[in-house]
Amino acid sequence: MVNKHLTEFDFERASGFANAAMALLKRCHLPAFPVYYELFYTYATGANPDLNARVNQIFTQSGTLTADEASALCEQFLEINNMDEKLRAMSRAMSRKISDVNEAIEFAMATANSYSGSLQQASGDLESGIDDDALKMLSSRLLKETRRMQDMNRRLEAQLENSRDDISLLQRDLDEVRKESMLDPLTKIPNRKCFDEQLDLELESATRDEKQLCLLLLDIDRFKAFNDTYGHLTGDQVLRLVAQVLKANLKGRDMPSRFGGEEFVAILPETELNGAITIANMIRSAVQAKELLKRSTNEKLGRITLSVGVAQWRRGEKAAQLIERADKCLYAAKSGGRNQVVSERELPDAPGSIDVA
């Protein structure tokens, strides 16, 4: 709970901790991510002796803290171990900074009210008439109060300036983490969450502008067997390769995403079915053309292939319906022998469809 009666001592103490945290961030050349800020703020307060002992040990050994070491400390001592928690931590840091600003303003307002009361009292004394000695005392008191008010204003101005800079950094870092939360950590392309949000936006746009839209659903053929044979690290290399091919062959507003496991998906706005089939075959051919090498031994691992399902959005249908139809096309491509593209035109229940071998 925020203390509504923050004393001047508390204010100075909290500001000192904040300044120490920022100084440590600069010393270690770490970005001003709120999680790192919280780490060093906690260190500055000495509230966690185990944290301080570990940080002091690292400083003694190397004189600084790397980003990896800072992240590990955050996970160990701040219990920040996933992107959602990082976002919550950022929100808490932002709330604390806003609370600091509000408390500084409240303190300044209390000082201003006190000054206003002094002026009103002085005005009453002057109206009632006072002698020369009392006037001198009154003038001295008002001068002292005025100087105190001026000093408070200068301190408030400096505090607000620092807080403005800190909040600006927090906002920038929040934007960066939000972007990071939308990326698949392995392949560095948009993740399922990002895909779901973007598909809804693109369907709204297609509905509004009466445009076409297609969806590709792609699956790496026999990926489990590949993983079992060569190991998960090599499997990760394959996933990154497919992601790179997708990015290289998709342009403009086209967006690739990792759908889950060895499945990928691509949104193709303003694209009709024939164009989407052409793009799907380009991607399939580009992946098949890549010969895999095991980096540690330069052993040739052969080639991988993709099966691709292609569906075109129909007016009025929901995202789930479009995804389901693309998934049926993908299943047809897999069951038909793999390493091929199947569109909704070729599904058994499609008008003028042909049987899939």
Question: What are the residue numbers of the active site?
Answer: 262
Both tokens assigned to 228: 């079992």
Q: How far is CA 137 from CA 33, 111, 144, 151, in A?
A: 53, 21, 11, 21
CA distance 41 to 19: 9
DSSP state letter for 214: E
CA distance 135 to 158: 35
Residue whose entry in the numeric block shows the structure tokens 């809804």: 200
Mapped onto helix, strand or coil, the DSSP state of residue 226 is helix
* H helices present in the chain, as ranges: 8-27, 34-45, 49-62, 67-77, 83-128, 132-181, 192-209, 223-230, 232-249, 273-288, 319-335
Instruction: Answer for the pair 170, 32: CB distance below 8 angstroms, yes or no.
Output: yes
Torsion of CA 6, 8, 12, 15, to 10 degrees: 40
> Which residues sit opposite 309 in a β-bridge?
217, 342
